[in-house]
Amino acid sequence: MSDVSTKKIIGIVVTITIELCILLFAILATEKRKQGNVVQKITEKKNLLEMLQADFGERPLKKFLKQVKNHYERTGKLLPLQKLTPNTRPIMKYLNAVDRESLEELLEK
Query: Residue 11 above 90 pLDDT?
Result: yes
Supply the pLDDT for residue 19. 96
**What is the rounded distance in angstroms from the CA atom of residue 19 to the CA atom of residue 25?**
10
Residue 25, φ and ψ in degrees, nearest 5: -65, -35
Considering only residues 78 and 20, tell me which one the structure prediction assigns the higher pLDDT. 20
Helix axes 3-56, 58-75, angle to 10 degrees: 110
For CA atoms 70, 74, 76, 77, give the dihedral sign: negative
Q: Which residue range forms the structural domain that includes residue 88?
A: 3-108
pLDDT at 62: 84
Quick count: other Cβ atoms within 10 Å of Cβ 41?
14
23-27, 38-42, 82-86: least confident range: 38-42
Structure confidence at residue 12 (pLDDT): 96
- State the virtual CA torsion across 100, 101, 103, 105 in degrees, nearest 10: 160
Q: How far is CA 42 from the centre of its chain?
A: 11
Over residues 66-80, the pLDDT tens digits come to 888 878 888 877 788
**71-104 pLDDT, tens digit each:** 888 887 778 878 887 878 888 887 777 777 777 7
Alpha-carbon gap, residue 23 to 19, rounded angstroms? 6
Counting the structural domains of the chain, the total is 1
Nearest to 94 by CA among 57, 27, 14, 28: 57
